[in-house]
Structure 1
Amino acid sequence: MKKFRVILFLLLSVLCQAQTAEKNIDNQSILWNRYYNQLLLSEKWSLHSEFDNRVFLKPVQENLYVIRIQGRYKINDHLETGAGFAYFSVDTQVPEINHDYKTPEYRGQQDLTWKLNANKVTLIQRFQVEERFIHNADNVKLLPGTTFFWRFRYRLQGDYAFWKKEKQLLKAVLSDEIMINFGKKIIKNTFDQNRIYAAVHYGLNSQLAFELGYLNSFQRRSNGIDYFNRDIIRFSIFHKIKISKKV
């Protein structure tokens, strides 16, 4: 418990430093659309896949799309772990600038997730590590090679169920996630970003659910001076498919 408090203190210190320093902030509005599939293989094992498309709204311009896949293992009623791979295709991070190429990123990820259910409230903590390989590029074209660095993510989330009726449910979701970069290539942007998220989640049945929420992403750019402050509307479709009858 003492180690956890030390880690939390360090993360909050980095976040406070990022939010109090002098900044050049670029405000953006984005729409995220996501399809998330859970293939339930057994009581312990599942295969998760995700497709996420992100579009700037002012002006309308493609931001990026993501394809993720990961295997997950349920250790017990409170703990589960997962490992997977993600592919990003980045069109642009600034909608006023549209390059003639897309920048690929290849990302490994591993996480440990802790969950506690207490009546109508569910508390979730996720600790995640990512290995990021971003293709080199300039303002004109892609360049040979990739840039590698690590990123650590910690997310604290609370879910509150308003009501449950047979296989239907309606709940509120509230979370805060901080992301920290580290590696030889990281010089000025150890603090990457902080994400605050609030949403309403409706489960139509045991297989299909919909979620609509607002996410604020405050992100430091690689030069350490400029920041993105992003207002994001996120719409998600969750789809569960049971392979085993025992699930």
Structure 2
Amino acid sequence: MIKNILLFFFLILSNFILFAQAEKNVDHQSLVWTRYYNLLELDKKWSIHSEFDNRIFIEPIAQNLFVARVQGKYKITDSVELGSGFAYFSVATQNPDVDSGFNKPEYRALQDITLKRSLGKINLNHRCQTEERFFRNFDSQGLKGGTTFALRFRYRIQGDYVLWKNVKQSLKAVLADEIMFNAGSEVIKNKFDQNRIYVALQYCINKIFAIEAGYLNSYQQRVSGVDYYNRDIFRITFYHKIKLHS
């Protein structure tokens, strides 16, 4: 337990040091992310995870992007889970002061492995994920034919702690840190993509529904290599679990 906790805080500390050294031109932005997450359990091994995520700037108010993602997952054991799926992104703008007048599509294939461990009331998981990203080409006039390809590698460590629980309901504290790296021939100056630190409270209403609200800080390097986004994000998630087996 101590080893995992030390690893968690070392990762956060090292990322803070990295950002402090690399920080140059930083745009600060504020957003609200609203997400619906559905977990469909087919049996004790197989499940389908789908989510719809809408992201909006609040200073000024403007659409950032919309995400639809679906993923099949298979439990090898109670501690090891494999996943594979597809995601569609529709990006309106990355700058609320600039409206291109059209949305840019992005298509992703993704694969991951999640390792889970319980440490008393703490549930700890490590997720390693690979994304194959296809960006639709565009210019200032609109969308063009073809796509640009890039890889992204993600590692997330997340823990939740049960603050309160009864027969049907519970309240959890959630803490996570995720770091991402880009790869591919088109990636020149932004091999480091971003780091996300997340803290939240999750209230399980019953065995079917839960709601989670939290703060996420995203620090992202842009294509230039010297420009960054520092985003303060309020995130709210509605969880919905459906079991098709007994």
| CA distance in 1: counterparts of 2:15 and 2:110, whole angstroms | 22
User: How many pairs were matched up?
Assistant: 237
Q: Report the CA distance between 1:140 and its aligned residue.
A: 2.6
In structure 2, the residue matched to 1:210 is 211
Where does structure 2 lack aligned partners over 5 or more consecutive residues?
1-9
Q: How far did residue 138 of structure 1 move?
A: 2.0
Give secondary structure in 2 for the equivalent of 1:35. strand
Tell me which residue corresponds to 1:180.
Answer: 181
Distance in 1, Cα, partners of 2:152 & 2:92: 21
1:146-190 deviation per Cα after TM superposition (whole angstroms, max 9, x unaligned): 110100000011111012111211000000000000111110000
Q: What amino acid is aligned across from residue 120 of structure 2 in structure 1?
A: N
Q: Taking every aligned residue pair, what percent have the same amino acid on both sides?
A: 56
With the length of structure 2 as denominator, give the TM-score of the two structures.
0.92
Residue 77 of structure 1: CA displacement?
Answer: 1.4
Report SS of the residue matched to 1:99. Answer: coil
Answering whether residue 28 of structure 2 is matched by residue 27 of structure 1, we say yes
Structure 2 residue aligned with 1:116: 117
Corresponding residue for residue 82 of structure 2? 81
In the other structure, the counterpart of 2:95 is 94
* CA positional deviation for 1:241: 0.6
* CA contact 1:14–1:191 (8 Å) conserved in 2: no
Stretches (4+) displaced over 3 A: 9-19
1:60-98 C-alpha deviation (Å, 9 max, x unpaired): 000000000010001111110100000000000000001
Whole-angstrom CA distance in 2 between matches of 1:145 and 1:11:
38
- TM-superposed CA distance for 1:18, in Å, is 4.9
Residues 18, 191 of structure 1: 8 Å contact kept: no
What do the CA deviations read for 1:220-245 (whole angstroms, capped 9, x no partner)?
01111110000000000000011112
Question: Is it true that 1:236 corresponds to 2:227 in the alignment?
Answer: no
Partners of 1:220 and 1:15 lie apart in 2 by: 14
TM-score in terms of structure 1 length = 0.92
Q: How does 1:10-21 map to 2 (within 5 A)?
A: 16-21=17-22
Cα separation, 2, equivalents of 1:108 and 1:219: 21
1:141 paired with 2:142, answer yes
Q: Write the letter of the residue equivalent to 1:59.
A: P
Could you report, residue by residue, the CA deviation over 1:15-66 in whole angstroms, capped at 9, with x for unpaired residues? 8545412510000000000000001000000011100000000000000000
Query: For residues 90-116 of structure 1, what are the alpha-carbon distances to aligned partners after superposition, in whole Å with 9 as ceiling and x for unaligned?
Result: 000000001111000000000000111
Farther off after superposition, 112-121 or 33-42? 112-121
Show the counterpart of 2:6. none
